[in-house]
Structure 1
């Protein structure tokens, strides 16, 4: 199976002690990988390092075999991402925002823009401006931008933030559709345990900047009643919190 992401000894620490410490991880084609941890665990830092938004103090990330630090353009050529807040031009419509993004991709036309707007449930709002959008609608538009170029890897940082129950279900369906129909690999960070359980086929637990364990969702649920029970067990086993913390 093709290795899509290779993370080796990745380290980036801030003055407050937060960040990531000596992370190593492999993600394979077709994975819907859930990066599960509480706020402040290091998820966003890791994803910024993976996408070249910040540089590591030590270690490296390879996407499709290319180093993000040494061969950035080649590494990111088939990657779509949504890190932290979904940004958009407030004075342009949803369609016009995506048309701006489409300028970077020669194979993306107006038909593809309409297609991703429909996939994300935003087609009926294509002529409206993001300044009128709810947080959930902005997240949907951000996801539309992330999948616009038909990337083979999509990196999503807390993609369910701001979505209502219907929106969360729609997001899960879209992720599964793209993984099955277009063989898209996903790397998704979240602190929402239930949604990670329903969405991802492999899960890595990160706590205090370190990966505690990586396992398939199927194996986890064969040995634990819920993903939450597994998470608590991993954190306790690694001596990070007491049993009364969750």
Structure 2
């Protein structure tokens, strides 16, 4: 089976020394892939490169076989994303924000807008304006926007930021539902180890801009008590973290 997302030698280096180096990954259909690493590890840089928001120094990303650098429109045609902060028009209602976005998708009608508001727990706030929303509510609306067009790939950068426990559980269930029932492929970055453990079926550890290892969650938890133990073991084994940590 051909990978849905194929990342080859992806590299982007900044003057401050941060960035990513030679990232190689393959993501299959229906995967919920967790990109796990601390703040500053290179997660957001990688996701901006994956979605064409910035250009790589070298390397490439292919989505459904189409290169982000050479065939951007086809590569992104079936992709929804939420990178960094969930942006919205502050003085439009939640519904009207999604209505503006729906103009770009001929198959998205008002029924679909109501559907994604329901899926993300935002139905009761559909007529309220984001300027009054908490960070968690903005994240929910951002996720509703990301799945509005029924994308086959969803790229989410720290999607659980600002959510309370109930919100985290709701969004986790939604992600798993879409992966199971609609074979939606998710690429999720996070520094929240426990939530990655509960949400993702495959995990890649990134540290100092480099991929340390990629493994299935089941295999990790067969060999380690928790994902946190695995993470610490990986960075210690690769000489990036002093043995005093953890």
Is the shorter-chain TM-score for this pair beyond 0.5, marking a shared fold?
yes
Aligned to 1:57: 57
Residue 208 of structure 1: aligned partner: 208
**For 1:161, what is the secondary structure of its paired residue?**
coil
TM-score (norm 2): 0.99
- Residue 243 of structure 1 deviates from its aligned partner by 1.8
Counterpart of 2:163 in structure 1 is 163
Equivalent residues in 2 for 1:64-213, closer than 5 Å: 64-213=64-213
Superposed displacement of residue 98, structure 1: 0.1
Report the Cα distance in structure 1 between the residues aligned to 2:153 and 2:23, rounded to whole angstroms.
20
The equivalent residue for 1:29 is 29
Query: What secondary structure, in the 3-state scheme, does the structure 1 residue paired with 2:80 have?
Result: strand
Aligned equivalents of 1:240, 1:12: Cα separation in 2 = 20
Q: Secondary structure of the residue that 1:41 maps to in structure 2?
A: coil
Q: 3-state SS of the aligned residue for 1:39? A: coil
Q: Residues of 1 paired with 2:116 and 2:2: CA distance?
A: 26
Distance 1:245 1:41 in 2: 17
Aligned residues: 246
Gaps of 5+ in 2: none
Q: CA RMSD in A?
A: 0.5
Q: Which residue of 2 aligns with 1:229?
A: 229
TM-score by length of 1: 0.99
Q: What per-residue deviation string (whole Å, max 9, x for no partner) do you get for residues 46-83 of structure 1?
A: 00000000000010000010000100000000000000
SS in 1 for 2:85: coil
| Partner SS for 1:155 | strand
The separation in 2 between residues aligned to 1:2 and 1:160, in whole angstroms, is 30
What SS does the aligned partner of 1:174 have? helix
Q: How do 1:10-29 and structure 2 match up within 5 A?
A: 10-29=10-29
Pairwise CA distance, 1:40: 0.1
Q: Give the SS at the match of 1:167.
A: helix
SS at match of 1:7: strand
Q: State the alpha-carbon separation in 2 of the partners of residues 207 and 216 from structure 1.
A: 18
1:104-160 Cα distance to aligned partner (Å, 9 max, x none)? 000000000000000000000000000000000000000000000000000000000
Moved over 4 A (4+): none
